[in-house]
């Protein structure tokens, strides 16, 4: 079941994210262009940010699949999986996404793409071996909820845009500390230039951190909705609940995952911050648990399972 209010919000947030990205990079470029008295820095920042935004919108899903070493699967090689996906797509009123597989024994899955017409669901070989049919239906319904609610566009954009902000921030910082790119302003403009570059350095340092925290916060929030929407789609919350138990109980890290793509998976692929530690820290240390929870890519597994089993369908 899709949340049309949430779909509108995700579409709006995607454009806000792109616009904010362009603004941040343009401000950084202006500050450093002014300090080094070199307009070329600003032109480079604007052109680079525009190209990155366009590339992210159209090709971030391809980058994600390539980084994950995912391969397309044909119907002839796994007809049962195709039947599960197609039947749930009919129930959800969604076009059938492409299906990819990562050859990795760790059970996990994620969805990516810019909209339901250009979507992909990616499973690991481990999840296909470990889960039974009802559990796999629960996972698939969860990922289809991400697709239908346009979570995939927002979170796939974040993968590339956050990385770009980090890259440019580091580049500007190295430039400011090691000089170059034109003569620095002197005289009366010197103090103003120093203030501007100080602001630019602070922005360059904080932008990647703020962007990452936003990414993680949005990722945690969307998992609860996708769990609920997926359970409503299958009319069997227990299937997804059991799947989450099996996936989280496997402690082997997913070798093809990385920090940029971890938030896309149904369960944290590194099994180091799947929520239980944050919940325990909250109980034992008060505020420290809340702080550590800021850096979790997913909400607590135990809480997700609890919510699913409390659903009355």
Task: Please give the angle made by the CA atoms of 149, 161 and 174, to the nearest 5 degrees.
Answer: 160
CA distance 286 to 253: 29
CA 204 to chain centre: 21
From 74, 86, 137, 143, active-site residue: 143
Query: Could you give the 3-state DSSP secondary structure of residue 183?
Result: coil
Q: Which residue has the tokens 């919000």?
A: 9
Q: How far apart, in whole angstroms, are the C-alpha atoms of residue 136 and residue 142?
A: 10
Task: Estimate to the nearest angstrom the gap between the alpha carbon of 248 and the chain centroid.
Answer: 19
In contact, 33 and 68? CB cutoff 8 Å: no
**Residue 143 annotated to the active site:** yes
**Gyration radius of the chain's alpha carbons:** 22
Asked if 32 and 175 count as a contact pair (C-beta separation under 8 A), the reply is: yes
Residues labelled catalytic:
143
């Amino acid at each position: 079941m899709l949340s049309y209010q949430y779909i509108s919000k995700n579409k709006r947030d995607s454009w806000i994210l792109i616009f904010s990205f362009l603004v941040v990079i343009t401000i950084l470029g202006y500050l450093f262009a002014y300090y080094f008295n070199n307009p070329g820095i600003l032109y480079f920042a604007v052109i680079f940010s525009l190209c990155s935004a366009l590339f992210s919108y159209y090709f971030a899903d391809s980058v994600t699949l390539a980084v994950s070493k995912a391969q397309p699967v044909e119907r002839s090689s796994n007809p049962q999986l195709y039947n599960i996906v197609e039947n749930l797509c009919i129930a959800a009123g969604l076009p059938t996404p492409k299906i990819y597989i990562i050859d990795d024994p760790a059970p996990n899955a994620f969805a990516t793409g810019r909209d339901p017409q250009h979507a992909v669901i990616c499973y690991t070989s481990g999840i296909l071996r470990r889960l039974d049919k009802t559990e796999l239906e629960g996972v698939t319904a969860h990922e289809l909820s991400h697709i239908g609610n346009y979570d995939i566009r927002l979170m796939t954009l974040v993968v590339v845009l956050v990385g770009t902000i980090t890259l440019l921030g580091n580049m500007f910082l190295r430039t400011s500390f090691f000089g170059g790119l034109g003569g620095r302003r002197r005289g009366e403009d010197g103090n103003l230039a120093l203030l501007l570059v100080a602001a630019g350095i602070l922005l360059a340092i904080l932008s990647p951190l703020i962007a990452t925290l936003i990414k993680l916060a949005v990722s945690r929030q969307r998992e609860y909705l996708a769990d609920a929407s997926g359970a409503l789609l299958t009319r069997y919350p227990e299937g997804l609940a059991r799947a989450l138990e099996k996936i989280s109980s496997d402690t082997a890290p997913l070798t093809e995952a990385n920090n940029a793509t971890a938030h896309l998976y149904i369960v944290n692929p590194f099994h180091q911050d799947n929520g239980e530690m944050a919940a325990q820290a909250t109980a034992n240390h008060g505020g420290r648990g809340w702080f550590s929870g800021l850096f979790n890519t997913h909400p607590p597994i135990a809480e997700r399972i609890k919510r699913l089993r409390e659903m009355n369908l």
